[in-house]
Amino acid sequence: MAHGGEDWGRYAPAKTIFTVQDLGELAARLKSIDTFDRRGNIIWLDDFESGLSKWGVDTVGAGTDLKPSAEFCRSGAFAAKGTLPGGVSASITMSHYEPFPVLSNFGFECHISLYRKVTAARLYLYLLYGATSYNFSVRYDVANKKLQYQDEDQALQDLATDLSLYNSNNCFHAFKLVVDSAKREYKRLIVDDTTYLLDTFKPWSNPTGAANLLAPAIAIANSGDDDGFTYVDDVILTQNEP
């Protein structure tokens, strides 16, 4: 008996085209923002095409501002543009709160353009569970070319000490932090083409009366004499990361 698919079937030979077997690839070809690291199941995402209404925004420093911008973006037509004036200690923190269905490995991905004099960028992933807040955080010190994570004593520990990321308004660097919420541990950090394994590293934790939540946040700082600008785009929150 012959085996194989029908002539008109999914695996039939085709001319001038190649069939797409991966639904993730299909989504990417349809302009999904989830193209950098496709592992995990998406809980929530934001491409900033609808503005900043999904975020709480806190600014420090006179003239510091965060607003939608069509000047530069990773995808679509808009990104979030941060303006951090020089000569003062300026910072922008943008945060979002999301309930989660079950403890799993969570991922937090974002894309940041480190344009012109920004001194530091930081990712936070707060896991609020069982009356305790577990505070996962990684930081890129632009001025000193250091990549760091925050340990259980709130101290910043070096992961890389000579990391130079290209500085341009239209070059969006990918950052993805993955944590093991069941073990309350870091798991890995991806920055562009490099993966840093953080297994067994513990986050700082503190008691809280808040309900169970997952809260990603992005903080950008400028402490130099010159004005700093940054663009943030394509934020993705995932669960069930491997």
Residues 102-113 have a mean pLDDT of 96
In angstroms, the CA 74 to CA 176 distance is 15
**In order of start, what are the domains of the chain with their CATH numbers?**
36-239 (2.60.120.200)
Q: What angle do CA 96, 142, 86 make, to 5 degrees?
A: 85
Q: Which residues of 199-236 are buried (b: 16+ CB within 10 A; e: fewer)?
A: eebebeeeeeeeeeebbbbbbbbbbbeebbbbbbbbbb
Give the helix ranges, DSSP H, for the chain: 23-29
What band does 143 get if pLDDT is binned at 50, 70 and 90? confident
Is the pLDDT reported for residue 113 higher than 90?
Answer: yes
Residue 11 has pLDDT above 70, yes or no: no
Among the listed ranges 2-6, 113-117, 207-211, which one has the minimum average pLDDT value? 2-6
- Say yes or no to pLDDT of 170 above 70: yes
Kindly tell me the sign of the dihedral angle through the C-alpha atoms of 22, 27, 31, 34. negative
pLDDT averaged over every residue in the chain: 90
Cα–Cα distance for residue pair 33/31, rounded to 1 Å? 6
Could you report the per-residue pLDDT of 37-82, keeping only the tens digit for each?
A: 989 999 999 999 999 999 999 999 999 999 999 999 999 999 999 9
What pairs with residue 174 in β-bridges?
A: 111
pLDDT at 24 over 70: no
**Structure confidence at residue 227 as a pLDDT band (50, 70, 90):** confident
Q: With a cut of 70, say whether residue 7 has pLDDT above it.
A: no
Mean pLDDT within 203-220? 93
Nearest-angstrom CA–CA distance, 113 and 90: 17
Token pair belonging to 95: 């945060």
Alpha-carbon span 153 to 136, nearest angstrom:
12
**Pick from 140, 154, 190: nearest CA to 40:** 190
In three-state secondary structure terms, 91 is: strand
Is residue 25 scored above 80 in pLDDT?
A: no
Q: Concatenated DSSP letters for 142-209? A: TTTTEEEEE-TTS-EEEEESS------TT--EEEEEEEETTTTEEEEEEETTEEEE-TTPPPEEEE--
- Per-residue pLDDT band at 101 (split at 50, 70, 90): confident
Checking if the pLDDT of 99 tops 60, the result is yes
- Nearest partner of 61 among 39, 37, 83, judged by Cα: 83
- Using a pLDDT cut of 70, give the percent of the chain over it: 88
**Which band of pLDDT confidence, cut at 50, 70 and 90, is reported for residue 100?**
confident
Both tokens assigned to 115: 């344009």
Taking alpha carbons only, the member of 204, 187, 206, 205 closest to residue 151 is: 204
